[in-house]
A and B are shown apart, each in its own frame.
Chain A
Amino acid sequence: MKFALLNIILALIAAPLLSGIINRVKAMFAGRKGQPLFQLYYDLHKLLKKSAVFSPATTFFFWAGPLTGFAVLAGALLIVPQAQGKAFIQFPGDIILFIYLFGLMRFFTVVSAMDTGSSFEGMGASREIQFAVFAEPALFLGLVTLARKTANLSLSGIYSSFSWHDSTVLILVSAAFFIIFLAENSRLPVDDPNTHLELTMIHEVMVLDHSGPDLAVIFYSASLKLWILGSLVIGAIMPIYTGKIIFDELIFLSGMAVLSIVVGIVESCMARLKLLKVPQFLIVGFALAIIALILQIM
């Protein structure tokens, strides 16, 4: 219990560091010096000191969007298993809660984007929903496969009872999770969070009108999402638990660091996909999850 609490505090503190690592790796690949590792912390600090500007056209939903997103992710952080495969809260069926929490967050982000009345943000919202149609079933099928494999219905139960005995399903599911991880966090083959190009932007376009503390909350939520989905991937790829708290924590944290380095390498080596090709990329993740399920059931 105490250990799970430690995990949550660590996640809340260290989550913005991941994007710092990713940016560093990308800078090294491009031969630049790059931003400082803690750049996102400085940005958050700067944004929190400012005041937000609201357009008179907006309503309740506009400021509810970022706050709901953060609340939902804090809830997801309580049930997601981190080091040692244990979460703060666990009950049978929390995999469904986990997926629907992300659904709720997406709904509020989209609604707050549509609330501005800008056609530009509506475009981003429609893209976000279009890609979610492919990403969500893949995540769901992957989790169902793992639930079936371990005969457990809670995330903690699933993630603490892995072994490398039957590695095939684990490899397929973690490959599917990695694709979802890239798509959901608007990472490069799907979406580039650093550029502002109208033709292809998806996630950034939805938060263009947010400012000040709201924007800070959005950035912070994005890094928490990176952490939460990343811990799903890491838990599936390296189910190594020694039983000693310090070692497990170190293994988990180094896994997260390696994951963000891998993301940085992927982002440096790949170009962004054509918008029409993105569903194809996501369907590959879906196909991997289905194949894992077939393997598990047969």
Chain B
Amino acid sequence: MVINILITFLLITNIGVVASGRLTYCIRVVAVQGIVIGILPCLIYGKLALLPIVIAAFTIAVKGIIFPLLLGWSLKTAQVEREVEPLVSYPFSIIISVLIFALSFWLSFHLSLPESFCVSLLVPVAFSTIMTGLFVIVSRVKALTQVLGYLVMENGIYAFGAALLREQPLLVELGVLLDMFVAVFVMGIAIFHISREFDHIDTHILDNLSDRIPADIRTTEET
């Protein structure tokens, strides 16, 4: 029962990430999602043991505290505007996230999963978290929101892995976490440097980074 409540909160945070229009709020929602994800393995394992508690503590520390602080820091130092700037309008994004959920539910019914996936709701919600992350990466302009989308996607993969906790060795899980930690660290620093060099972190304008001089600039130089 408690697991179901947690999974529902995971679902609600997915909608929160898609629906929120402010970056600070978005980061906070992802932090809550990280904490929810962190508690999950403890409950799935069933009994109190060292392994799930270590994983949970590490996950909560990294995903719930360090990442949000890091992202908040790069938000402040890169002097980003606090709007999310979606390519798809907010109401439409919310409807798409509902469609994603329906799709992932349908998908999880058509997968033949091993018996160890004890919590039936976890698999579709994990799928929809992964796809929501992908959707956030695709549909938002700022580089920071793309890091957030990456984090949400990783949370989904982690939730999917949590269902397999009894078979999966601790080392793999920690390795994945470490990978992601490095990735987000690099991204946070990269965003800071990109914004310092180019005055913005809009991924559209980053397209112009090439050796070729764009046609419009060339004509202005000739005149």
Interface: B121 (CB within 8 A): yes
Given the known inter-chain contacts A164-B1, A167-B5, A172-B8, please indicate yes or no for A287 contacting B15, CB distance below 8 A.
Answer: yes
Interface: B95 (CB within 8 A): yes
**By the criterion CB–CB under 8 Å, are B12 and A175 in contact?**
yes
**By the criterion CB–CB under 8 Å, are B109 and A298 in contact?**
yes
Which residue of B has the minimal Cβ distance to A282? B91
**By the criterion CB–CB under 8 Å, are A277 and B21 in contact?**
yes
Stretch binding the partner chain, chosen from A1-9, A224-232, A261-269, A288-296 = A288-296
A175 and B19 CA atoms in complex are apart in Å by 15
**By the criterion CB–CB under 8 Å, are B90 and A280 in contact?**
yes
Interface: A212 (CB within 8 A): no
Contact size class for B? 20 to 34
A179 to B: closest C-beta gap in Å: 11
Give the contacting residue for B15; candidates A165, A167, A168, A284; CB below 8 A.
Answer: A284
Number of A-B residue pairs at CB separation under 8 A: 56
**By the criterion CB–CB under 8 Å, are B4 and A167 in contact?**
yes
Interface: A279 (CB within 8 A): yes
Give the contacting residue for A167; candidates B1, B11, B102; CB below 8 A.
Answer: B1
Interface on chain A toward B: helix, strand, loop, or mixed SS? helix
B132 to A: closest C-beta gap in Å: 12
Bitwise, B2-15 to A at CB < 8 A (1) or not (0) is 00110111011001
**By the criterion CB–CB under 8 Å, are B19 and A291 in contact?**
no
The count of residues in chain A whose C-beta lies closer than 8 Å to any C-beta of chain B is 20
Interface on chain B toward A: helix, strand, loop, or mixed SS? helix
Give the contacting residue for A287; candidates B7, B9, B98; CB below 8 A.
Answer: B98
**By the criterion CB–CB under 8 Å, are B91 and A290 in contact?**
no
**By the criterion CB–CB under 8 Å, are B105 and A294 in contact?**
yes
Interface: B97 (CB within 8 A): yes
Bitwise, A254-265 to B at CB < 8 A (1) or not (0) is 000000000000
B20 to A: closest C-beta gap in Å: 10
Bitwise, A153-175 to B at CB < 8 A (1) or not (0) is 00000000000111110011001
**By the criterion CB–CB under 8 Å, are B101 and A284 in contact?**
no
Interface: B94 (CB within 8 A): yes
Give the contacting residue for A171; candidates B5, B95, B101; CB below 8 A.
Answer: B5
6 A-B pairs with C-beta separation under 8 A? A172-B11, A279-B91, A280-B90, A283-B90, A291-B98, A294-B101
Given contacts A167-B4, A171-B9, A298-B109, 19 further A-B contacts (CB under 8 A): A165-B1, A166-B4, A167-B1, A168-B4, A168-B121, A280-B91, A280-B94, A283-B91, A284-B15, A284-B19, A287-B15, A287-B97, A288-B12, A288-B15, A290-B98, A291-B98, A294-B98, A294-B101, A295-B121
Which B residues are closer than 8 A to A by beta carbons? Answer: 1, 4-5, 7-9, 11-12, 15, 19, 21, 90-91, 94-95, 97-98, 101-102, 105-106, 109, 121
Closest 8 CB pairs between A and B? Answer: A280-B90, A171-B8, A168-B8, A168-B4, A283-B91, A287-B98, A287-B94, A283-B94
